[in-house]
Amino acid sequence: MRGLQAIPGITIYGITDTQRFDERVPTVSFRMKGYTPQEIAQRLGDEGIFVWDGNYYAISVTERLGVEEDGGMVRVGIVHYNTIEEVERLLAVLENL
């Protein structure tokens, strides 16, 4: 979370306070200024990092957040079987956009 928060132009949707992480799941949705979610997903996919873009069948949520008309959000799931190196690679690709 700290790595995503450090990248200029990234907006994270959901709980970002580390003191409240017990209230969230390990899936993170975000947008990045200057790129559509589809462009970000494509760029990450080109690097072998697989994420989702769009509304993930939660159209009422993306509409309420005001992001549906602009392609929704990027969603990445980081769980117990992901390595630190994989997370660092994700952040590096995003930082280089």
CATH code, domain with 91: 3.90.1150.10
What 3-state DSSP class applies to 82?
Answer: coil
Q: How many domains does the chain contain in total?
A: 1
Which residue, among 42, 63, 64, has the nearest Cα to 53 in the 3D structure?
42
Find the length of the chain.
Answer: 97
80 confidence band (pLDDT: 50, 70, 90): confident
pTM score, whole prediction = 0.92
54, β-bridge pairs: 73
27, β-bridge pairs: 77
Average pLDDT, integer, range 37-53: 97
24 confidence band (pLDDT: 50, 70, 90): very high
Domain around 33:
2-95
84 confidence band (pLDDT: 50, 70, 90): very high
Each residue of 55-94: b (16+ CB within 10 Å) or e? beebeebbeebebbeebbbbbbeeeeeeeeeeeeebeebb
